[in-house]
Amino acid sequence: MERTLCIVKPDGVRRKLVGEVLRRIEGAGFRIEGLRMLRLNREQAELLYDIHLGKPFFEDLVKFMTSGPIVAILLEKENGISDLRDLIGETDPSLARRGTIRGDLGGTKQENLVHASDSPLRAEKEIPIFFPKTEGEYKSAGEVR
């Protein structure tokens, strides 16, 4: 089983597409292990996108990601990291295949609805930003933050 992180970005929340994204994720066989709605602060957004630091779109990306609430989703599935990347489609929605979340629901290169960890290393870094407890703790009943 592989754990990965999906984020419905501020544009997805504004466009009321949270339910649609979750429906597609569950329909593709993922198990939702954790779910949080929150507004990122600048520090968290910079940490999430630290690999893009210095790129021309970095500042706008941080501004966008902190512009409103997001939904962070902790997911589990066999081959989950690459399966989730396939499900969301290309970064630029105009290039994303039909049947993918970005391909079907549209958006722009920056405001592209969803984020997904792109490697095991990134998943390991990104998951604790939103779900700091250790593996397994989200499976038990009781408080989930």
Residue number, 67 or 133, with CB nearest to ligand CMP = 67
Binding to ligand CMP (CB under 6 A): which residues in 87-106? Answer: 91
Q: Are 3 and 76 in contact (CB under 8 A)?
A: yes
- Asked if residue 109 binds ligand CMP (CB under 6 A), the reply is yes
- Asked if residue 115 binds ligand CMP (CB under 6 A), the reply is yes
Among 4, 100, 112, 117, binds ligand CMP (CB under 6 A): 112
Residue number, 20 or 118, with CB nearest to ligand CMP = 118
Residues across the chain: 145
Cα separation of 81 and 62, whole Å? 23
115 is catalytic: yes
**Given 115, 116, 123, 131, the catalytic residue:** 115
Residue 133: CB minimum distance to ligand CMP, A? 23
- Asked if residue 75 binds ligand CMP (CB under 6 A), the reply is no
